[in-house]
Amino acid sequence: MKEAFIKSFIYIFLGVILTLDSLTIAQNTNQTDKGGFYLYWGYNRSAYTNSDLSFSGRGYDFTLKNMTASDNPEKLSSTYLNIQKITIPQFNVRMGYFFKDNWALTVGYDHMKYLMDHPQEVIIDGYVEPGLSNLWSGQYENQLTPLTYDHIHYENSDGLNYIRFELARYFDLLSLGQNDWFRVRGQAAVSSGIILSFNDFNFGNVFTRRTISVSGYGISLHPGLRFEFFNHVFLQTNGAAGFMHQVKVRNRPDVQIAIAKQKFGYLASEIVLGYTWRFGKD
């Protein structure tokens, strides 16, 4: 489902670029932001704070405290150039509309990945029904325990998908050449949105993949630096710092009570390539 949706989005994305480019190609290059919009696609890396991850289901209700997790970037390969595999890496796609000069409202999709680290030691607090797990049994009160992949594993590798709305302010830092053919612009943006989780969960000798849920919300800040060429094409580097609250992550598709919840902070870096259409002139 996710692959079909994203591939359809890509085809629409390319179609819009080709159609609108034919409308703007003859325009004066000295144009204003207001009334224009942009599209971009790129890739990211992310890092997460330690967190307390709580699980509840049939026969268990426990929290793993001070757990660590990491992202999972795709190695540099032909995958990034293959339209059939372009959604495998950690990616970003975004559309923005300039409602006035230097101010834009945007909507987009940050596809990140979140994987429980192995090996590590955490503190367990809660209850596991005897016989359910080959490592834990009974009541635990803040007891140090190892995490092994075969015993318990939790990840959003297909992804931790942050679908967010953004208010962005742009600052002109440098302009060069006739009609400002090269510009450097700064970005300051604030965002909020929902988290769409594709969850993999291994516990109690049951490994469930790709359980989908709208699991929570996020808020974040996004500074950036945009290098714009010929008033249209741009390369942009973004940072991100935010907070995510996963209120209810579904772990099993066929069980009503099998959920996880947690709160954590994150930092991310992005590099994107995009195109801006400007219809207003100075």
213-269: pLDDT as tens digits: 999 999 999 999 999 999 899 999 999 999 999 999 999 987 778 999 999 999 999
**Residue 140 near residue 125, CB atoms below 8 Å:** yes
Which residue from 191, 215, 180, 188 is spatially nearest to 201, judged by alpha carbons? 215
Angstrom distance (rounded) from CA 123 to CA 132: 19
Angstrom distance (rounded) from CA 134 to CA 143: 17
Residue 281, pLDDT > 70, answer no
Task: Look at residue 28 in the predicted model and tell me its pLDDT.
Answer: 43
pTM: 0.86
Those residues whose C-beta lies under 8 Å from the C-beta of residue 224, and which sit 6 or more positions away, are 186, 187, 189, 236, 237, 238, 239
| Amino acid at position 210, single letter | R
pLDDT digit string (tens) for 81-133?
788 888 889 999 999 999 999 999 999 999 999 999 999 999 999 999 999 99
Band of pLDDT at residue 21, cut at 50, 70 and 90 = very low
How many other C-beta atoms can be found within 10 angstroms of the C-beta atom of residue 12?
10
**Residue 247 near residue 53, CB atoms below 8 Å:** no
